[in-house]
Structure 1
Amino acid sequence: MVRFPNQRLANVFDALQAESLPQEELARRFSVSTRTVRADIQALNAILAGHGARFILSRGNGYRLKIDDQQRFASLRETPRHNRTPRSSAERIPALMVRFLSSAYAFKMEDVADEWYVSRGTLQSDMAEVRERLSRYDLTIETKPRHGMKLFGKEAAIRVCLTDLMYSLSLDEHDSYLLASGALPFDILPRLTPSWHQSLVAGGIKLTDEGEHYLALYSAVAVKRIREGYPLPDFPMEEVDERIKTASAQLVRLIEPLTGKGFSAAEENYLRIHIAARRVQDINPSAINADDDETLVDYILNYINTHYNYNLQNDSQLRADLLTHIKTMITRVRYQITIPNPLLANIKQHYPMAYDVTLAAVTSWGKYTPYVISENEIGYLVLHIGVGLERHYNIGYQRHPQVLLVCDSGNSTVRMIQAMLARKYPQIAVTQVISLREYEKLTSLEEDFVISTVRIGEKNKPVMVLAPFPSLYQLEQLGKLVLVDRTRPYMLEKFFAEQHFMIVDRPLTQQALFKQVCGQLKREGVVDKDFYPSVVEREAIVSTLLGDGIALPHSLGLLAKQTVIYTILAPQGIAWGDNETAYVIFLLAINKTDYEEAMAIYELFVTFVRERSMPRLRDSQDFAGFKAVAIDSLSRA
């Protein structure tokens, strides 16, 4: 039997069995350096040497698996690679959750520690995360002297928590302790799934593949709990349409024989709610007329228009898409049914502007309703809002080259040159046309470069001499000036300044940092007294850590009187969110008039994360050094 020394090696092994990957892509996927990737490949090859296989580097394609002895390698694939004892904190936390969710009696941490060959202190440190995760489902752990610890909560919450755990494990292609232990009812699924889809179709219900999969997982959990003597208590009958009733009756016929104890009316009522919560609605606004749905959509779109200056209220397609999603979302939040969102981390990192806009709107609405909308639900709403922004606004804001045209040949020549520029390089913005005499009087230029029909001296910007009928070579030279990326350097120049740059060389809390920086911006007249409380409120909702140690604290809405980005480098790190640390912090104070440029501002920070620029930015000694690293990172993107 082969055991990999750590989970990452097992993950790399699985990834390279599926496809050939270059070391840069492996480094990105597993958040390590290319040097670590090479070390991992060497370690894997040492392990595989006795199993007739090895990873080789193919030029242009990356690492691929080469099997020298098919029979010996086949025996490797047949042996389970997982360890039946959880070895890491990432494995122990869900294993502890399942232990609490499945145990009928209290148990002691000492017994679990002995079973898993870890210290009691190690388990105690894991318990903080276990308690926090269980609390999301209103589940609590109580400790009784001499008896141990036991979970308390509603049966419906226990089932949803177990289902979410199963769902997250099923998304992971790699073997794990819980998959091997038999603690979760994955063995029931093969007896459910063959006729599952047909039963839903027969009932006239359409679900996404993920929705069907989640519903099947919930049903497997329900079977397990009923078998173990934990039926669902009375659950009120909700008004649902006849198709859901038909589909639930079909599914009950599949599930009931597996329980050995029957399927009560309460169980079927709750199953109907799960079907309704994941049902795909027809994208037809006329088919949706629930007051709650309409109210929430109106509130979200109005809030975005009022606080961020993005007017999406007349986008009928966006309104229909939001109504389609929110109709089933209301059912889920009403009954505290969670829906996993495996793309949430990517959505937050790659669409930060749309995420913040949507989060602020939904959070504001939450003050007037008993419903609690989870991050997962917000993530799905972000995708709809993001598409709406792309339809109506220049979400990929670019600063086009600003050009001064110098010409003494008359209007006809000027018009001919302007027409040629519009045809060849439509992104050029000619700010003004002046004569040679007027040019000579200028001391400096604001434009990016000069186009002239005659040879002239340079001032502070490059000069391109262009004939009225330019040659191919001249057009190529002009292209080199035009196609330079000016957007991100322009953003650095416009919104970053040395007076708004600070290196923190002493221990500092997040709260103290906000107070200090917001206080300075208020004294400068950049923001008013409402800005600091809004920054604190936004951070309390969800951490603004973008990733890779980079944080973007900001207010709810565009509240600043002028747009300023305050850069803070913290080599020692500042505690940020739950067990996270920020080393490079950009506090954003954005004015409504810069609402389109705000999108490009966020793109700057996404680029820093993608390019893994944090260590170099963090280690900058002054503003000039920071700016040089930032420009270098952006130029390589």
Structure 2
Amino acid sequence: MDTWINGVVCADLSVLQKTLEVSEMMDVRSFDVIDSLYREKGYLDGDELASSLDISTRTLRDIIKDVREHVEQYGATISYKNNFGYRLEVHQKTLFESFLAQEKKNIENMRFDYPVTSDERCDYIIRRFLLSSTPVKSDDLCEELGISKTTFAQDLRHVRQILSRYELQVEVQSKKGLAVSGSEKNMQSCMADFVFYNDFASSASFTTHSIGQFCRQYEQKIRTCVNRVLSDNDYHMTDLGINNLVVHILITLYRGQMDPSKPDLSDVKINEDEYRLEISMAQQMADLVADYTGMTLLEEELGFIAVHIIGSRLFSREDENLISMETLNLVRDLFEEIRRHYGISFFDDMELFALMCMHMEPMIQRVRNGIPMRNPLLDTIKSENPNGYDLAVYACRWLSQRLNASIDENEMGYMALHFGIALDGMKKPGQKRVLAVCASGVGTSRMLKYNLEKLFGNSVESITTARMSEVTQMDLSEYDLIVTTVPFDYPVSTRVIQVGCYLSQSDQDALRNAFTASSDNADQLIRAFDPAMYIENGDAETWQQAVEQLCKGMSSCINIPDDFLKLTMDREMLSSTYIGNRCAVPHPTSVVLEENRIAVMHLKKPVVWSNGKRVEWVFLIGMKRYEDAGSDQLIHALYELIGDGNALRQLKLDASYDHFIRILQSVLSVQSEAEDDFFR
């Protein structure tokens, strides 16, 4: 019989002894303090350390007092210095690191049974709801978590926000307690994220929980059934897709045991004539599962399994004939929409067209039936290629309207991989597109082009020649440099250099400077961060207020469209712009400005962002309409800053504009042009 110990279902009471043993070890907060000081390798401000751990400075002082003697047993000391903070000095490295590694292992297992931070408690509460067959009383949760009713009420509000993203609600059942309600499909999706696709699945808490024991007993059997059917039918699925399917079957069977009335998964949209093979394979899997486990999958659940199979099919070039006309037309129309909205044409990239078709064929079935496809690279994709991700966000918004189905950010991330590679291939790093302008003669144009090619060789991606009379009909923003033999009076942002047809020594020197110098040096990049658009200690209480205040500040300095705020809010609703390190980068769905500008806010108190994460720094990005190297450098510099934890810690100590600029300059000075491109 299952027994609840600290909110965890345990198969036998022997686990109680282990729990009592763990309670005698170092607690989570003490470990976090020691670990933070060790990773700092220097002094760490007390206020900053307390804030990062969601504790008061008084609590921090008490913890430091308690752990000082403890770490001394393992060859380390903790000291304090006015105006600098705390510092951990290690005198016996091997002994201390061995101690820290063992404590880390113990603590990682404890976090799920004894959550400390608000985020950890919210995860605990959600798992408690999902894994309980009966309503859970709030008093029991308060006792298990060791928190007051006021703190629990605050956590519960956050829990409701998280569950709303799955279209689930927390119901109060009179005299019984709290329970989660919603469709079975959404319930399973939430359960997959909070039980299987996070660190809980590899913890001791999962192992001792009844669902962990259920998985240990049946997971390999179900995986064998799935792989056998795929092999028998010579059908290929992605590794992630196979894993998702196994997890889905596990959850379905487990929830079937929790509720003998069986969950309803009948709302599946699938063309039975078109997908006879996949429906047959679902039945084959169900038959094998029954043989291997003794548990039965209902007929209405087979359609859901079939959709998982279809949605994770792995296409190869040999399967291109299986791509439907709907998909071909959808990709073609999507490329046309991107060309209309962004001015970027992918029609010459047949590799991208083929890859996008093979990706979108199963994706259509996933989104129509609400089958989530987890993306373990999502955070990396967002940070490493923001341009490709934003293009994918817009593309998925357009697709969701065409398909009349919502598309989550995991799907956006996969699409961003394709767009990222295509965008990267459009323009080789370091190469320039040059427009050579002459008065009228064909001979002088050819001579100028020849001399430019001779001078710069592979440094030039393309050289386009044009007569002065043709310039007014051209989009000059496509070029990185304009070289002209005649006076050029048109207002353009692109650099213009006037030379002679035969390129004198001074002409060559001027052109070399243009090619070797960055199109936007550090000073030009920093000008994007106007002091009038910098808020040192913002008082916004919600992420919406933060965005509104930054938009207002930007509008007071430069001309922005009337719908700039709306476009920014629309972008946030498509996919959260939280980027990690308690930073968010809101921006509109389109590039709408005449110049690059970034408005910055450092918040006195962190706000909860649209994805439930806490944010201290908000960077409102406004990019100019036409793309140039300066725009790429600006975004790269910002993401370098956000990814530099040490720089952000320094800024937290002094959030003034002058200090921010000094930190930004230091980040720019160490940027490496030879950095590997993740998407390559």
TM-score, structure 1 as length reference? 0.71
**Does the 8 A contact of 2:538 with 2:604 survive in 1?**
yes
**Is 2:365 the partner of 1:331?**
yes
**Does the 8 A contact of 1:307 with 1:558 survive in 2?**
no
Match of 2:171 in 1: 142
**1:384-417: per-residue Cα shift (whole Å, max 9, x none)?**
11111112234x56789xxxxxxxxxxxxxx9x9
Distance 1:358 1:384 in 2: 9
**1:16-62: per-residue Cα shift (whole Å, max 9, x none)?**
xxxxxx999xx9xxx999xx9xx99x98996799xxxxxxx9xxxxx
Displacement after TM superposition at 1:553 (Å): 3.0
Displacement after TM superposition at 1:383 (Å): 0.8
Structure 1 letter corresponding to 2:637: L
Runs of 5+ consecutive residues of structure 1 not aligned to the other structure:
14-21, 50-56, 58-62, 401-414, 435-444, 448-452, 457-462, 465-477
Residues 204 and 267 of structure 1: is their aligned pair in 2 closer, same or farther, counting only changes over 3 Å? same
Match of 1:529 in 2: 562
Distance 1:586 1:566 in 2: 5
Residue correspondence of structure 1 range 353-392 to structure 2 within 5 A: 353-367=387-401, 369-392=403-426
**Is 2:210 the partner of 1:182?**
yes
Aligned residues: 551
Residue correspondence of structure 1 range 464-613 to structure 2 within 5 A: 486=518, 489-490=521-522, 492-493=524-525, 496=528, 498=530, 501-505=533-537, 507-508=539-540, 509-520=545-556, 524=558, 526-560=559-593, 562-570=594-602, 572=604, 575=607, 576-577=609-610, 578-583=612-617, 585-591=619-625, 593-594=626-627, 597-612=630-645, 613=647
Q: Among the aligned pairs, what percent are the same residue? A: 19
What SS does the aligned partner of 1:360 have?
A: helix
Residues 122 and 290 of structure 1: is their aligned pair in 2 closer, same or farther, counting only changes over 3 Å? farther
What SS does the aligned partner of 1:312 have?
A: coil
Displacement after TM superposition at 1:335 (Å): 1.4
Distance 2:156 2:524 in 1: 44
Structure 2 letter corresponding to 1:357: L
Distance 1:221 1:110 in 2: 28
Displacement after TM superposition at 1:220 (Å): 1.4
**Is 2:310 the partner of 1:276?**
yes
The partner residue of 2:284 within 250, 270, 284 is 250
What SS does the aligned partner of 1:86 have?
A: coil
Which stretch shows the higher mean deviation, 573-582 or 510-519?
A: 573-582
**Does the 8 A contact of 1:203 with 1:246 survive in 2?**
no
Structure 2 letter corresponding to 1:277: G
**Does the 8 A contact of 1:196 with 1:251 survive in 2?**
yes
Distance 1:79 1:636 in 2: 38
Distance 2:390 2:533 in 1: 24
Structure 1 letter corresponding to 2:152: L
Distance 1:207 1:391 in 2: 28
**Does the 8 A contact of 2:368 with 2:403 survive in 1?**
no
Match of 1:304 in 2: 338
**Does the 8 A contact of 1:518 with 1:532 survive in 2?**
no
**1:530-569: per-residue Cα shift (whole Å, max 9, x none)?**
3343233223433434333444332221222x12314334
Runs of 5+ consecutive residues of structure 2 not aligned to the other structure:
1-20, 54-63, 77-89, 434-448, 462-479, 486-494, 498-503, 672-680
Displacement after TM superposition at 1:490 (Å): 4.9
**Does the 8 A contact of 1:108 with 1:147 survive in 2?**
yes
What SS does the aligned partner of 2:250 have?
A: helix
What SS does the aligned partner of 2:197 have?
A: helix
Match of 1:475 in 2: none
Residues 44 and 347 of structure 1: is their aligned pair in 2 closer, same or farther, counting only changes over 3 Å? farther
**Does the 8 A contact of 2:221 with 2:293 survive in 1?**
no
Displacement after TM superposition at 1:375 (Å): 1.0
**Is 2:236 the partner of 1:206?**
yes
Residue correspondence of structure 1 range 130-169 to structure 2 within 5 A: 130-169=159-198
Distance 2:578 2:186 in 1: 29
Match of 1:634 in 2: 668
Structure 2 letter corresponding to 1:281: F
Match of 2:348 in 1: 314
The partner residue of 2:125 within 53, 73, 96 is 96
Match of 1:219 in 2: 249
Match of 2:322 in 1: 287
What SS does the aligned partner of 2:109 have?
A: coil
Match of 1:437 in 2: none
Residues 505 and 595 of structure 1: is their aligned pair in 2 closer, same or farther, counting only changes over 3 Å? same
What SS does the aligned partner of 1:581 have?
A: strand
Distance 1:585 1:252 in 2: 50
What SS does the aligned partner of 2:351 have?
A: helix
Which stretch shows the higher mean deviation, 220-229 or 330-339?
A: 220-229
What SS does the aligned partner of 1:150 have?
A: strand
Displacement after TM superposition at 1:73 (Å): 14
Structure 2 letter corresponding to 1:565: R
Displacement after TM superposition at 1:76 (Å): 11
Displacement after TM superposition at 1:607 (Å): 1.4
**Is 2:142 the partner of 1:106?**
no
Distance 1:529 1:557 in 2: 13
Residue correspondence of structure 1 range 71-82 to structure 2 within 5 A: 82=109
Distance 1:125 1:299 in 2: 46
What SS does the aligned partner of 2:171 have?
A: strand
